[in-house]
Amino acid sequence: MTPMVHLLLLPLLFSIAGGKNLEEKKGPYENTVLDVPEGTPVPYPIHQFQVTHPGVNNFRLSGEGNEDIKISNDGWLYLEKPLNWSREDHYIIMVEALADDEVVDGAIYVTINVLDINNNAPYFDQSDYTAEVIENSLAGSPFTKVFAWDQDNPETPNAHLIYSLVSQIPNKHGVLLFQINPNTGEISTTEEGQKMLKAREGIQFSREEVQSIDTLKTKFNEYCPGQSIPYKENPFFTCVEKAEMKRWNLDPLEDPDYILFVRVQDLGGATETALSGNAKVHIVVKHNLWVNPGPITIKEHSAEMYPLVIAKVQSNDPHAIYSLVQKERELRFPFQISADGEIFLTEPLDREVKDTYILVVLAKDGYENEVDPPMEIHVLVEDINDKAPVCGSEESIFEVQEDEPLGSQIGQLLAYDDDEAGTLNSLLTYTIVSQDPPTTPNTFSIDASYGRIQSLRLLRRKEHQVYKLNVRVKDPAFSTDCKVIIKVIDVNNEMPVFEKNNYGNHSLKEDTPVGHTVVTIRATDADEPDSGSSRIEFQITSGNDDEVFSVETSGSGVGYVVIARPLDFESSSTYKLQIDARNPEPLKKGLEYGSESTAFVSVFVTDIDEDPEFSLDILDVTVFENITKGSVLLTVEAKDPEGTEISFKLEGDTHGWLEIDAATGQIKTKDKLDRETLESFQVTVTAFEKENPKKFSERIVYVRLLDVNDNIPKLTETQAFICVKKPKPVIIEAHDKDDAPFSQPFNFTLAHSRKSPNWELQKIDGTKAKLTLKKAPTEDRTFILPINIKDNKGMGVTQPLEVRVCNCTELGYCYIAPDEHSFGFGMGPTIGILAGTLGFCIIVFIIVIKRKNKRSKKQAVAEEEERNMM
């Protein structure tokens, strides 16, 4: 079809199109904006321009896209070639109406926006990836990443890419050991992979050992000493050598442990029309060298040379930098670690001081990033028998009544050993080595394991009132002698007797302080003085609700009834206390305590005007910082014990964020809260009697604000420079006022969708990225790079980073040539200079004119004189 036929058919095509897929919008200055889908078949009418000038017989088109967009003589704007969004997403053209090549109308500017359609399949940046994974890697922790491109418009679903794992080879048990993040393409192990992934068997080399045949021979001799067969003829060595050579030169593409088939789809993979691309990931499983050597057992007081190597660790990163910290915050930490991972003990340990240490080993790279997870190593201090048994007290004194039956327990001797419990070093045995006065047979026996002392015969005071025993306590290496005194006391045949049975009525105000003595009581006992039979103990056995009162005594027969807890008239206003006097030793058989051993005390509590009381002592509230204005944070509850009406007030709110309802105690927000301004604060709530404000109580309300994602990460520096001759990467850093999980780790990207040929941006850690110049410009130049920084939840904006690429001085700073210096003047001086220059020019002009006029007059006079002479 000829171009003339095309043009003849344009009106018909336009009527058939009916304006479909076209949207005309008027912009400023009567410019026209048209939207055209890419790939629209040609010829395709876009728009017809109507003019009123009668002489128009042609149109002129200029600007972008002259090869793709044409205009007919009658004003039809049409497509000559299909448009391609990936090549150009918009065109700006100028249309002028002509009459015999003379512009008679216009110019009108037309913007043609090319609408993207999903006509580009996503593709990976490489078809085959290789990766290494450490066995037992933490599930969900990425060890590699795939990346795909889509030339469609990144602002539309056409370029919304989703990654998926198609298959895993081998997969004998039907269990996927790997997973892929559908949004980022990051590949990690599953929980099953964390448990099941195993590296190929092989010889392990330490950090300082070189993987070589010579090192292999050395290790072979260590494992198989005394070999006389030459290495080349030894089938065992050649077998190991062959296997190790294969492992050292392993090519993941040729001999991987696993192959993953991954797929990328556009349109978010949500429809059957989504386009896709595929790639393979070849994975080799490496040995996990980061193995915990613990628990480590060290004998206390070891007579070794220090520092002493007790263990060694090896990172999976050969360039890792080791450091050692203690988990507990102890002043004494006798451990160190060397650059090659050897852990040293710097001095002897004492189990009785500390029996366990927890060492935390960190492996980091040069940027302080952890290359392996922190390792906790437990160091156990092994006990040696270096402690002798110790008596529980200097003298152990026991009392026993005469005529107690045979076998009665006198008491138990207490002793201890500081060596480790549950071991032979602390196993104690008890033996009576002497008795004073001596008897035949012995009067007492002792349980060898528990130290319980029993009587072997009836004891009588008329024979001996006191026995002294020397008991030897032994462990397997040491022994100690303990002193025991046994007193034979009289039978308790007398009861305590109060001086009076009723101590009357006592009135107390309810604000009487705790510890106040209400009354002093007395009783006597006729049994042997200074024995358990005559010692008197007082017990309140009735009327003491809530244990408000107690009796303090030294056992000598005098007791003090005191207030043990605060009095409360509203809870209880009357107490009738029954107090019994008792002996520690049991009464003689057949005797019972009577009324003479009981006394009564009556207490009456009088009311006072008390301060209001809060229902809770601790008032804590935790809310999100974006809580709606006017929301109730907390309702404070308080009441007056006497029932008087109370009111509330709030103080200490320095930011004016809160208010309290004086009648109900409701604390509400009256302004926007901001965690970044203040994460936690406290205010004071006062409850007071309305009729008597001097009666009040206060409580502190502690408010803690929870973070929401209301801040974006921002560049800490917005300017940088790169030296052309030594183009070191620029380290950019961002900061976010929010807390985790709404802050770091950040995601750094160049904002434009296509891969930049000049710049590369790589993430270093959670807050930093490295900007590398791949192609230097031919001259000094300043670039404004759009850096998109998003926080851990995907919130962020594009920010400009100004990077100057320049020639640098020896000190590493941009060189500025002398003619590049800018000496700027203000507006006033500039006008003055111009005015002065103009005035100077005018003066010179006037002088020149005057001289010329003078010269002309002289010349006229001379000519006149010459004529006269003639």
pLDDT score for 248: 63
Structural contact between residues 574 and 599, judged by C-beta atoms closer than 8 angstroms: no
Asked if the peptide bond before residue 225 counts as cis, ω within 30 degrees of 0, the response is no
Cα–Cα distance list, 437 to 468, 485, 814 (Å): 7, 11, 103
**Beta-strand pair 796-806/719-723:** parallel
Burial label for 281, CB within 10 Å (0-12, 13-18, 19+), is buried
Maximum separation of any 2 CA atoms in the chain, in Å: 188
Picking from 545, 543, 554, the residue whose alpha carbon sits closest to that of residue 599 is: 543
For residue 539, how many other CB atoms are within 10 A of its CB? 13
Reading the block at residue 213, the tokens are 């045949």
Instruction: Give the tokens for residue 108.
Output: 């009108």
d(CA 131, CA 256): 9
Q: How far apart are CA 368 and CA 845, in angstroms?
A: 76
Residue 377 tokens, joined:
């190593």
Strand, coil or helix: 521: strand
| Residue 600: its H or E element | strand 598-606
Query: CA 444 to CA 457: how far, in whole Å?
Result: 8
Calpha distance 796→791 (Å, rounded): 6
Q: Which residues contact 728 (CB under 8 A, 6 or more apart)?
A: 722
Res 669: pLDDT: 93
Question: 99 pairs with which residues across the strands?
Answer: 102
Q: Can you give the pLDDT at residue 836?
A: 59
Whole-angstrom distance, CA of residue 587 vs CA of residue 599:
20
Low pLDDT (below 50) residues in the chain: 1-29, 819-830, 858, 861-862, 865-870
Global confidence as pTM: 0.48
pLDDT given for residue 752 in this prediction: 66
DSSP string, 124-145: ES-SEEEEEEETTPPTT---EE
pLDDT of residue 165: 96
Q: Tell me what pLDDT residue 472 has.
A: 97
For residue 541, what are the CA distances in angstroms to 423, 533, 581, 626?
Answer: 47, 21, 10, 58
User: Cα–Cα–Cα angle for 357, 361, 365, nearest 5°?
Assistant: 165
Considering just the CA atoms, what is the radius of gyration of the chain in Å? Answer: 49
Please state the φ and ψ torsions of residue 164, each to the nearest 5 degrees. Answer: -150, 155
Per-residue pLDDT, 835: 59
| Bond before 170 cis per omega within 30 degrees | yes
Which helix H or strand E contains 815, and what residues bound it?
Answer: none
Residue 805, token pair as written in the block: 């690429």
User: Would you state the pLDDT for residue 404?
Assistant: 86
Q: Which helix (H) or strand (E) holds 725?
A: none
602 strand-pairing partners: 505, 576
Please, which residues have CB within 8 angstroms of residue 742's CB and are 6 or more apart in sequence? 707, 708, 709, 711, 736, 791, 792, 793, 795
Q: Are 142 and 187 in contact (CB under 8 A)?
A: yes
- The percent helix, strand, coil of the chain (3-state, each to 5) is 15, 40, 45
Q: Which amino acid is at 651?
A: E
- What is the dihedral sign for C-alpha 350, 353, 356, 358? negative
Q: Specify the pLDDT at position 30.
A: 52
Q: How would you list the strands of the sheet with 537-542, edge to edge?
A: 502-509, 598-606, 574-582, 537-542
Which pLDDT score is estimated for 155? Answer: 87
**120 backbone dihedrals φ, ψ, rounded to 5°:** -125, 120
Calpha distance 234→227 (Å, rounded): 9
CB 798 within 8 A of CB 713: no
pLDDT value for 1:
39
